[in-house]
Structure 1
């Protein structure tokens, strides 16, 4: 399966397994979503289980919260992460606080999933990476898969989780990596867009990172599309980098990060979101706090720029090997 097919399979498994699960969003019912993640599910499960919502993100999120409090397990789609902000107050002030404000009497077992990041020349309103906002919200878990197997297992785990989960899907790798990622052809090391994904039920634990490439010289922390950029850069530059796919940024698997950085003594953080106050700043601080006496060089961030997301200059904005390669080499010189 590619990532779209894997996410569709996760919905299918959970809709069939648990009658409390419902899926909805703008165009998510009859049409099956802009990216076809929910394609065919309304026909299979009916209009009361998979249905369309108005173009009102605050209403979508608020409705999902009410459903979850009532006993359902809603999976709400925000068509693009850029449009999640009308529902921001509902997520921050309601979904993330209900378990705490009721002393654990009530929980909100809901998932808000949304395509995020660049890769389709969507410009400023279809390409943003807002994960740092939600990482700052107490009570919200934030998941970002990098491959089809993890995408399905993490989405099932998110649906089964008793608390609210933000599930960001990197649209640039919905159908798999392609040559446009990089500043030179990548066919020799690009991953196959399809992966072995079981048909049935399985989970990938929320809060557990994966070491996707072992190395001794430097640790690269990444998630989503940037995992592929890190792997490609290490391969083409011949750098003995250990690449860690965070999978989830909240909760964060700091133990795996700490173990790797103490081994390599160097760390580069990679994400496509803007630099200032991005999640990379939190990662840098944590690494410095926990691994200071093992570091052989300062922690370095390679990120998007502090500008609105460009349209025509998307490849220049997006961190790729042309920027990550020199950063890795500079860290290794220190």
Structure 2
């Protein structure tokens, strides 16, 4: 596949024009073990050079450290990127006592912190990272809408909400993007959220489209293969018997990759990208990486097209996956379906 800039799409009705693949920056600061900061900065530049313009972070990543890490890059390329960050997960009491906060007072405080750490006057896309069912959605989205009115935020997004919740939120203020986990291994969003997004003209931004690296074959058992700092060691589907079961599900991914002279990661990303055709909506996956080589591999997947028979061979995988995507699924949309 020749190397060239990727295609662009509109991120939701009336939303910004972005590259059809974005970049998740979480792992540059936390969760996936140690990071080479210089290499991560090089990856950011390589992403922009390839046309990857949706840069995704959150205030929870490194407890603000990821936003601060991105600030110099953002300052150097402010007019070239679409900057997305998120609020809602409060770690101030410690990781073992995380709480989800959707109350308007918290939202107003959170946005000020993100603006300061990122060194910007306005955030292009501001997501509610997780939903607190104890706070009326109209109150939370209403507070987010106030941020748009004040010129602090341009567009609003939600993460891990159901189709019904997306419709309710969109009635309060237009939602540009819905970000939730969606991959060959995780398809619960197809129950209601994907259809609602298509109906409303909301773009879908799949996070973990590579199954947190498992779909690439980079590791087979998180408990044995990954460092003590890697949070994947605590995700049920990546350890023990579940990991062995799930590793066997990758055989058709590898076979299709071999036919195309591609990598399993590229097949997995192409599958996610082609959900746009299947469901009739804009899809902008945000695979995360700290390495330029992986970034270029991921970008090349935007030019890989899977044939109908190949898509059919991949169709049964998600239904056979063993283990949940989190130890506690209570804050995901799946728990509220």
Give the TM-score normalised by the residue count of structure 2. 0.35
**TM-score by structure 1 length?**
0.35
Relative to its length, the structure with more helix (as a share) is 2
Structure 1 or 2: more strand by fraction: 1
